[in-house]
């Protein structure tokens, strides 16, 4: 039923079949072959085992995206542990919370991040062990760190753990409505069922060159990493800096001869608007995949007019399921179309239903919540049994369905169209943001009395976050100071775009913040 | 130079800091590290500068070296004019 029983088998198989083929490229920095990547991840496996990491443990990755961090992923998986990647650009306090929350046994960390992390980690008798890299780039920094550790404290070679589909492979932390990020636990089974579906849907070939645009703490990376490695193709890493900048990204996609691109619609919109795409050759690009948010039709149309040759697919699914529906964008977008394309039909490894608030299936054409069942679904949220129970609907046959919180409509032909969210989660440039987490961050400001956040969406700006605040004793800080404060407690994409100040926030009759009223103030 | 700083300042206040007291935005306020200019805002600012001053700004020039402070942005523009 599954092509392998563990993700690291994809690497080891490709290392046997195509040892000298480039596995991963870091443009302008370096390249690593399959043989070298397998060897480097083996060395890390041995070191982690020496430090006490065993099957069932967690290991953190606090590194910039690089061949080093990619090798770290496989090294961790080969010990039987799950990897926990954190955003190197996020505040150290948030990352420390994540790594302490899932009690990582070890962290592979850049020296620059170590002091900030250690200052924020709770003091405990058995804190995590650190493997410290003096930077990242081309895999050499990881190799050097392992070599010098080997000289001072030799680790012996151990066997890679025996593959088990039910082992946790990774925990991806997403925004949590209470202000604390929550860890989505995914097994090798979940990941491999998805990778195998990709093999069917996108016909990956050994001469393909896949982009890796999303950061590794973002679930788009699962396709980026494991599909090319399964097929012995090449993965081209896009750094965080270049990834945000369409002016540098446009020539990189062309020069790196990317054949399969995958990212959020936001960056594709930026590429179409600011990337001067007409200046470059994209004849190698055969497939463009996007996911994570709605693609405004105006920008998709512009992109397709600039790059008419590839096939385009809209992929849909939250981190908890990864992709569970997909839709191929037609070659020609009719002029009269103004609404976004559907999220499409169920992937072959998923069953999809649309249900009402009582959990009863609604007929095609009626709005309801999309729920999904299949091998790709998460095990649950780390250490949050109640949240996990609330996230699932168990039907009379005992089948577990993940409730996405997305309101959709099924068209007559089994094609689903996204309508809205059931709760206060929004997607800003593909990032999943719980408005409640932003409010919790704002409340940490000593002078804030009340904080409420809403999302505004329009074609021109996409999603913007607006914060309404009131202050103790009229002590209102400047917007500039507030933004700087937010940068210290929240990831950059959660910092509100607009601030508004009120003496008192409007309340409902039950004395809750009146969000409907706030929307009318915007 | 003073004029350039004021023009850029007015643009940033209007586009990215609606409602802010203009006196709070000084030539040395951290723009990128302070959460005022994100990647999209930087691109919009670059498009504004290219249009307004007829200069061309290269991708590698769009980092914190040249865009984290009003004074640095004005200096970059002047070097190119």
Report chain A residues whose CB lies below 8 A from the CB of B18. Answer: 498
Mean pLDDT of A473-494: 91
The string of DSSP codes covering A85-139 is E--TTS-HHHHHHHHHHTT-SEEEEEGGGHHHHHHHSPP-TTPPEEEEES--STT
Cα–Cα distance, B72 to B63 (Å, whole number)? 11
Residues A457, A434 share a domain: yes
Which of A245, A479, A497 is nearest residue B62 as measured by Cβ atoms?
A245
Q: How many CB pairs lie under 8 A apart between chains A and B?
A: 53
Exposure on the CB side of residue A72, measured as CA atoms within 13 A = 36
Report chain B residues whose CB lies below 8 A from the CB of A244. Answer: 39
pLDDT in tens, A12-51: 999 999 999 999 999 999 999 999 999 999 999 999 999 9
Query: How close B45 gets to chain A, by Cα (Å)?
Result: 12
pLDDT beyond 80 at B62:
yes
For residue B13, the model assigns a pLDDT of: 95
Cα–Cα distance, A201 to A428 (Å, whole number)? 27
For residue A217, the model assigns a pLDDT of: 96
Asked if A245's CB is within 8 angstroms of B30's CB, the reply is no
Asked if A483's CB is within 8 angstroms of B35's CB, the reply is yes
pLDDT in tens, A165-203: 999 999 999 998 888 999 999 999 999 999 999 999 999
Please report whether residue A334 resides in a domain. Answer: no
Asked if A493's CB is within 8 angstroms of B34's CB, the reply is no
Residues of chain B in Cβ contact (below 8 Å) with chain A: 16-21, 24-25, 29-30, 33-36, 38-40, 43, 47, 59-60, 62-63
Asked if B36's CB is within 8 angstroms of A480's CB, the reply is yes
DSSP A48: H
Domain boundary among A244, A267, A283: A244
Please report whether residue A225 resides in a domain. Answer: yes
Mean pLDDT of B25-47: 90
Give me the CATH number covering residue A406: 2.30.38.10
Work out the widest C-alpha separation in chain A, in whole angstroms: 70
Residues A364, A477 share a domain: no
Query: How close B5 gets to chain A, by Cα (Å)?
Result: 17
Structural domain range at position B66: 2-80
Are the C-beta atoms of residues A188 and A167 closer than 8 Å to each other?
yes
Mean pLDDT of A476-498: 93
Which of B17, B34, B43 is nearest residue A487 as measured by Cβ atoms?
B34
Chain A: residue whose CA lies nearest to B26: A480
Measured in residues, chain A has a length of 522
Instruction: Name the band, by pLDDT with cuts 50, 70 and 90, for residue A215.
Output: very high
Q: How many domains does chain A have?
A: 3
Q: How many CB atoms lie within 10 A of CB A474?
A: 10
Asked if B35's CB is within 8 angstroms of A486's CB, the reply is yes
Report chain B residues whose CB lies below 8 A from the CB of A487. Answer: 33-35
For residue A181, the model assigns a pLDDT of: 94
Of the residues B28, B29, B39, the best mutation for testing chain A's interface (the one with the most A CB atoms within 10 Å of its CB) is B39
- Residue of A346, A347, A341, A291 whose CA lies nearest to A316: A291
Asked if B39's CB is within 8 angstroms of A478's CB, the reply is no
**Degrees to nearest 5, angle at CA A138 with A137 and A140:** 85
Q: How many angstroms from the chain centroid is the CA of residue B13?
A: 10
**Confidence (pTM):** 0.90
Cα–Cα distance, A301 to A128 (Å, whole number)? 49
pLDDT in tens, A116-172: 999 999 887 788 999 999 999 999 999 999 999 999 999 999 999 999 999 999 999
For residue A438, what is the enclosing H or E element?
A: helix A435-443
Mean pLDDT of all residues in chain A?
Answer: 95
Give me the CATH number covering residue A71: 3.40.50.12780
Please report whether residue A76 resides in a domain. Answer: yes
Residues A371, A515 share a domain: no
Chain B: residue whose CA lies nearest to A481: B34
Mean pLDDT of A455-480: 88
Report chain A residues whose CB lies below 8 A from the CB of B19. Answer: 479, 498-501
pLDDT beyond 80 at A96:
yes
Residues A504, A373 share a domain: no
3-state secondary structure labels for all residues of B20-63: CCHHHCCCCCCCCCCCCCCHHHHHHHHHHHHHHHCCCCCHHHCC
Report chain B residues whose CB lies below 8 A from the CB of A484. Answer: 30, 34-35
For residue A125, the model assigns a pLDDT of: 74
Residues A165, A31 share a domain: yes
Measured in residues, chain B has a length of 81
What are the φ and ψ backbone dihedral angles of A381, each rounded to 5 degrees? -95, 135
Q: How far apart are the first and last CA of chain B?
A: 11
Structural domain range at position A404: 348-421
Residues A374, A235 share a domain: no
Cα–Cα distance, A34 to A74 (Å, whole number)? 12
Residues A160, A22 share a domain: yes
Are the C-beta atoms of residues A53 and A104 closer than 8 Å to each other?
no
Which residues 223-242 of chain A have a CB within 8 Å of chain B?
A: 241
Mean pLDDT of A339-366: 95
Report chain A residues whose CB lies below 8 A from the CB of B47. Answer: 274
For residue A245, the model assigns a pLDDT of: 87
Looking at chain A, the whole-number percentage of residues with pLDDT higher than 70 is 100
Please report whether residue A140 resides in a domain. Answer: yes
Please report whether residue A288 resides in a domain. Answer: no
pLDDT beyond 90 at B81:
no
A496 in reach of chain B (CB within 8 A) = no
Please report whether residue A254 resides in a domain. Answer: no
Q: How many domains does chain B have?
A: 1
Give me the CATH number covering residue B38: 1.10.1200.10
For residue A510, the model assigns a pLDDT of: 78
Residues A466, A395 share a domain: no
Q: How far is CA A83 from CA A132, B6, B66, in A?
A: 16, 49, 37
Which of A51-65, A287-301, A500-514 reaches the highest mean pLDDT? A51-65
Mean pLDDT of all residues in chain B?
Answer: 91
Residues A127, A77 share a domain: yes
Mean pLDDT of A106-111: 98
**Residue appearing with tokens 């129970």:** A389
Please report whether residue A65 resides in a domain. Answer: yes
Are the C-beta atoms of residues A91 and A488 closer than 8 Å to each other?
yes
For residue A345, list its beta bridge partners: A326
Asked if A274's CB is within 8 angstroms of B43's CB, the reply is yes
A255 in reach of chain B (CB within 8 A) = no
Residues A114, A101 share a domain: yes
pLDDT in tens, A54-64: 999 999 999 99
Domain boundary among A192, A222, A244: A244
Asked if B19's CB is within 8 angstroms of A499's CB, the reply is yes
Instruction: Name the band, by pLDDT with cuts 50, 70 and 90, for residue A430.
Output: confident
Strand order through the sheet with A448-458 = A448-458, A462-471, A498-501
A374 in reach of chain B (CB within 8 A) = no
Query: How close B4 gets to chain A, by Cα (Å)?
Result: 21
Residues A470, A408 share a domain: no
pLDDT beyond 80 at A412:
no
Helix residue spans in A203-259 (DSSP H): 220-230, 240-244, 246-255
- Residue of A428, A420, A405 whose CA lies nearest to A293: A428
Which residues 433-492 of chain A have a CB within 8 Å of chain B?
A: 478-481, 483-484, 486-487, 492
Residues A224, A163 share a domain: yes
Domain boundary among A188, A218, A244: A244
Query: How close A311 gets to chain B, by Cα (Å)?
Result: 27
Please report whether residue A291 resides in a domain. Answer: no
């Amino acid at each position: 039923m599954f092509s392998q029983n563990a993700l690291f088998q994809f690497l080891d198989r490709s290392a046997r079949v195509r040892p000298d083929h480039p596995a991963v490229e870091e443009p302008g920095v370096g390249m690593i072959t399959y043989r070298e990547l397998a060897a480097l991840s083996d060395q890390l496996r041995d070191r982690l085992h020496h430090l006490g990491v065993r099957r069932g443990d967690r290991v953190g990755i606090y590194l910039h995206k690089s061949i080093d961090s990619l090798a770290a992923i496989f090294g961790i998986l080969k010990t039987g542990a799950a990897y926990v990647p954190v955003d190197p650009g996020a505040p150290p306090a948030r990352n420390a919370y994540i790594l302490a929350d899932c009690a990582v046994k070890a962290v592979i960390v850049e020296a620059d991040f170590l002091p900030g992390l250690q200052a924020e980690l709770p003091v405990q008798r058995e804190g995590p062990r650190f493997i410290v890299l003096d930077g990242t780039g081309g895999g050499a920094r990881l190799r050097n760190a392992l070599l010098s550790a080997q000289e001072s404290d030799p680790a012996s070679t151990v066997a890679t753990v025996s593959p088990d589909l039910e082992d946790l492979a990774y925990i991806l932390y997403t925004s949590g409505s209470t202000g604390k990020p929550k860890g989505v636990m995914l097994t090798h089974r979940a990941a491999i069922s998805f990778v195998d579906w990709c093999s069917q849907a996108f016909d990956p070939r050994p001469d393909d060159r896949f982009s890796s645009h999303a950061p590794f703490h973002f679930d788009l990376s699962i396709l980026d990493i494991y599909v090319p490695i399964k097929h012995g193709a090449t993965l081209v890493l896009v750094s965080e800096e270049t990834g945000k900048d369409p002016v540098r990204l446009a020539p990189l996609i062309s020069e790196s001869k990317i054949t399969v691109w995958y990212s959020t619609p936001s960056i594709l919109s930026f590429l179409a608007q600011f990337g001067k795409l007409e200046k470059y050759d994209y004849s190698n690009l055969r497939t463009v995949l996007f996911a994570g948010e709605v693609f405004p039709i105006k920008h998709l149309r512009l992109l397709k007019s600039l790059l008419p040759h590839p096939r385009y697919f809209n992929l849909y699914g939250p981190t908890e399921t990864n992709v569970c529906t997909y839709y191929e964008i037609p070659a020609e977008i009719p002029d009269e179309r103004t609404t976004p394309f559907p999220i499409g039909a169920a992937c072959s490894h998923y069953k999809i239903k649309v249900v009402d608030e009582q959990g009863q299936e609604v007929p095609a054409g009626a709005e309801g919540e999309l729920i999904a069942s299949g091998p790709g679904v998460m095990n649950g949220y780390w250490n949050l049994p109640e949240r996990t129970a609330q996230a699932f609907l168990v039907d009379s046959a005992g089948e577990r369905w993940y409730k996405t919180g997305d309101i959709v409509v099924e068209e007559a032909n089994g094609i689903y169209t996204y309508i809205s969210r059931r709760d206060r989660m929004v997607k800003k440039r593909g990032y999943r943001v719980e408005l409640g987490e932003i409010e919790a961050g704002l409340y940490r400001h000593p002078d804030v009395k009340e904080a409420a956040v809403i999302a505004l969406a329009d074609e021109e700006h996409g999603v913007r976050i607006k914060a309404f605040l009131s202050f103790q004793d009229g002590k209102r800080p400047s917007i500039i100071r507030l933004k700087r404060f937010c940068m210290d407690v929240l990831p950059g994409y959660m910092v509100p775009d607009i601030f508004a100040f009120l003496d008192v926030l409007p309340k409902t009759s039950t004395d809750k913040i009146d969000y409907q009223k706030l929307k009318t103030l915007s | 130079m003073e004029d350039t700083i004021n023009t850029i300042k007015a643009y940033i206040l209007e586009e990215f800091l609606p409602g802010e007291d203009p006196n709070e935005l000084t030539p040395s306020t951290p723009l990128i590290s302070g959460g005022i200019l994100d990647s999209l805002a930087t691109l919009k600012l670059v498009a504004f500068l290219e249009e307004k001053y007829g200069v061309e700004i290269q991708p590698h020039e769009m980092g914190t070296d040249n865009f984290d402070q009003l004074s640095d942005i004005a200096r970059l523009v002047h070097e190119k004019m």
